[in-house]
Amino acid sequence: GELTSPTITAYLNEFSARMLNPLLRHRPDTPPLRIRLIATEEPIAYSLGDGEIAISPALVRRLPTEAEFAFVVAHELAHQLLGHTHQVDTFTS
């Protein structure tokens, strides 16, 4: 399932806009970005297609900075732009 709260949703929407705006200047065909926080304790992220990315809280807890979170989101977004959807990336420390 998906974890949601008004605070999490607001942050993820704002973060998605910051990630996507520079990309849209070069790739206007990029779909809107939606980040889902999924209920699992495995440190995973994956691309669902059509601009949707799923990330686990366990992975978020392992990322000490927003820059590292941005890297994971960019990595998953790159999978989508290259047509590599539904590929699960497991992250280990």
Q: What was the pLDDT predicted at 47?
A: 87
Report the predicted TM-score, pTM, of the whole model to 2 decimal places.
0.80
CA separation (Å) from 51 to 48, 61, 62? 7, 23, 23
Phi, psi for 67 (deg, rounded to 5): -60, -40
Q: What was the pLDDT predicted at 68?
A: 95
Burial class (CB in 10 A: 0-12, 13-18, 19+), 26: exposed
Q: What was the pLDDT predicted at 89?
A: 59
Half-sphere exposure of 27 (CA within 13 A, CB side): 12
User: Listing from the earlier edge strand, what are the strands of the sheet with 44-49?
Assistant: 2-3, 34-38, 52-55, 44-49, 88-90
pLDDT tens for the 93 residues of the chain, in order: 888 889 988 999 999 999 888 888 888 888 888 999 999 989 999 888 888 999 999 999 999 999 999 999 999 888 888 887 665 556 655
